[in-house]
Amino acid sequence: MPTRLSRRAALAGLASLAACGPTSLAPLTGPPHGRVVLLRGLLNVFSTGLNFLTADLRQVDFDARVRNYVEWPALAEGIAKDARDGTLVRPFAIIGHSYGADDAVVMANHLGGQGIGTDLLVTFDPTSGDPVGAGVVRVLNFYQDRDAVDRTLESGPGFTGTLENRLVPGESHISIDKQERLHAEVVALLQSLATERQARATRPVAAAPMLAEPVLAAPPMPVPPRQVRAGR
């Protein structure tokens, strides 16, 4: 298994793969319930399960879009701009498989360094994931153990969220991203996050208790002037 540095150098020319283009997207049926970036792995051919996960998310009105992992810098720039403009719909999630999982972590860390949080980071069998840093609220890493590569993730400096490494028995690096039961879990988790956020947004703010006005004592009645009788 090549190291991160060596495979980056070897694949530097693969940016042209963006020409493979995004998967055609079905329109949402209503306002988006959240924003999801999905990153495929090498050559756009080993992560086709993410295409189906994207479709599943869009069916329940998440603004989900799938790209190749080499596009993460431009995607991060767009997310950062939306966050600054106040148009980033949350929950915001990043999902990736293989090299796309590696760069999902890189992208989340990059955004976290700019003060932009990621509500959910989901990785399918990363190859050499960086430690997860500040700004990521929840991490769910699905991995398999058929090879000798350590595909678990670790927390890094500044990470205060929750991180779960979930072994998926019976799967391989090529099959793990295509499992419908895992897709359903991710969709349900995002729906739960969206519901929680909506509930917080609509929860009435408790009014400050009214302070009783002090009861002022009535002013004393004026004493009538004493009349002095004239002498006889």
Residue 159 is predicted with a pLDDT of: 98
Residue 229 is predicted with a pLDDT of: 55
- Is residue 187 domain-resident? yes
- Is residue 223 domain-resident? no
Cis peptide before 32 (omega within 30 of 0): no
| Overall domain count for the chain | 1
- Is residue 16 domain-resident? no
- Is residue 6 domain-resident? no
Residue 8 is predicted with a pLDDT of: 44
User: Domain limits at 102?
Assistant: 35-202
- Residue 213 CB coordination number (10 Å): 6
Q: pTM score > 0.85 for this model?
A: no
Report the CATH number that the domain containing residue 135 is assigned in CATH: 3.40.50.1820
Residue 203 is predicted with a pLDDT of: 73
- Residue 105 CB coordination number (10 Å): 26
In the three-class reduction of DSSP (H, G, I as helix; E, B as strand; rest coil), residue 115 is classed as: coil
Q: Kindly write down the DSSP assignment for every residue of 187-227, as one continuous string.
A: HHHHHHHHHHHHHHHHSPPPPPPPPPPPPPPPPPPPPPPPP
Q: Where are the alpha helices (DSSP H) in the chain?
A: 4-10, 49-59, 72-85, 99-113, 180-202
Residue 24 is predicted with a pLDDT of: 74
Residue 228 is predicted with a pLDDT of: 54
- Is residue 111 domain-resident? yes
Instruction: Compute mean pLDDT per 10 residues along the chain, 232 residues long, and list them.
Output: 41 39 76 98 91 98 98 98 98 98 98 98 95 98 94 97 98 97 99 95 66 54 58 46
Residue 225 is predicted with a pLDDT of: 60
